[in-house]
Amino acid sequence: MTAPLRQQDPIRVDVALGERAYDIVIGRGLIGSLGARIAALKPGAKAAIVSDATVAALHLAAAGTALRDAGVETTDIVVPAGEGTKCFASFERVCDDLIKAKIERGDIVVALGGGVIGDLAGFAAAVVRRGLDYVQVPTTLLAQVDSSVGGKTAINSRHGKNLIGVFHQPILVVADTALLDTLPAREFRAGYAEVAKYGLLGDVAFFAWLEANAADVFAGGPGREFAIATSCRMKAEVVARDEREAGERALLNLGHTFGHALEASAGFSDRLLHGEAVALGMTLAFQFSARLGLLPHADSERVERHLADVGLPTHLSDVPGGCPDADALMDLMAQDKKVRRGRLTFILARGIGAAFIAPDVDPADVRSFLVEKLAERC
């Protein structure tokens, strides 16, 4: 598997959902074409751009100019940055601001930001006036390869992450890879965990390619667009087959059951970013799979080695702060969206690129595994 030389034309990935199909457009400098793309999809529509304070300072002016140059009237809605913004108060504010701006059912919401903004703005678009169209303009690697695609929108509850939301597909995703140039190194690394996830869950050749080419992805070479497009293509195919996570789409949560619990235990704070939690969760999922005899320990060690090589956390000791409690983590995992009638469901693996859905995992096995891992840390 080799990446092509950087191309001038954007890469298009189709999310095949019948009448609700849409394109993911990937390439450098695409924000300048945002207005023309939206005007072509929604002639005469107004746009509300929802962003956070950090992204707005960097990219809101360019997005607004592109829209207005195409004749699209704009309103800006800027909220604080950070995971804490995915809450009822911010959701209420965005909804009220959309109504105050007289955004009508024929208008459009533009989610300009990372996963937090995509989830929050998408959820607001899903419910204001019983449903508005929206466009995702993801500004982080994690959002470009994962959260902007597939129509999951949500806010957090005090009981856990993404527990309040709906499925609401965008009508377009514009992934301008040039926007990643302003991303802090830690945020880019966190997003890379979701890229690695696609190889780990279903494409061993892609994971091997990442092992050989991660430096080019991080440096912004041709491999960056190739990795993003490959990830988006894999997710689009899964979403087209299982839009509402009735089955196969749950595979995309590899690492998330452990990861979300760890993220919640860290208070959804900068102690542990979402992608970092996913990296740690994937390491734990492969280690747990090896413990259950599902795969060779060499596979789990290979996963841990690659994620550590790019600077992602792979041990509980990599998370700053006090040790979580195994029972507290079990309680948090019991709130996972994959729980069915109180039974834990994990995404485990029979090898790299061979993830599967494991229903009714014995909680005693999970707790024993966590106790062991926590003991290693403490």
213 has catalytic annotation: no
Residue 256 is among the residues annotated as catalytic for this protein: yes
Candidates 59, 152, 189, 224; catalytic one: 152
User: Is 73 noted as a catalytic residue in this protein?
Assistant: no
Is residue 245 part of the annotated active site? The answer reads: yes
Whole-angstrom Cα distance, residue 142 to residue 378? 30
Q: Is 159 in the active site?
A: no
| CA–CA–CA angle 334, 338, 341 (5° rounding) | 65
- In degrees and rounded to multiples of 5, residue 101 shows phi and psi of -80, 0
- Say if residue 199 is exposed, middle or buried (CB neighbours under 10 Å; 0-12, 13-18, 19+): buried
Q: Is 194 a catalytic residue?
A: yes
Q: What SS3 class is residue 159?
A: coil
Q: Out of 19, 130, 158, 341, which one is annotated catalytic?
A: 130
Active site residue 315: no
Query: C-alpha dihedral over 136, 137, 141, 145, to 10 degrees?
Result: 30
User: Which one of the listed residues 260, 337, 338, 373 is annotated catalytic?
Assistant: 260
Q: Is 28 a catalytic residue?
A: no
Point out which residues pair with 358 in neighbouring strands: 346
Tokens read off for 357: 């859905």
Of the residues 189, 274, 337, 338, only one is catalytic, namely 274
Catalytic residue among 156, 162, 213, 253: 253
Tell me whether residue 260 is one of the annotated catalytic residues. yes
Please identify which of the residues 249, 306, 337, 338 carries the catalytic annotation: 249
Helix segments in the chain, DSSP class H: 34-41, 53-55, 61-69, 88-100, 115-127, 141-142, 185-202, 204-219, 222-241, 256-265, 274-291, 297-309, 326-333, 363-377
Q: How many angstroms separate the CA atoms of 281 and 275, rounded? A: 9
Which among 256, 306, 338, 373 is annotated as catalytic? 256
Q: Tell how far CA 209 is from the center of its chain.
A: 21
Closest CA relative to residue 272, chosen from 328, 321, 311, 218: 321
Of the residues 37, 189, 235, 338, only one is catalytic, namely: 235
List residues with catalytic annotation.
130, 152, 194, 235, 245, 249, 253, 256, 260, 274
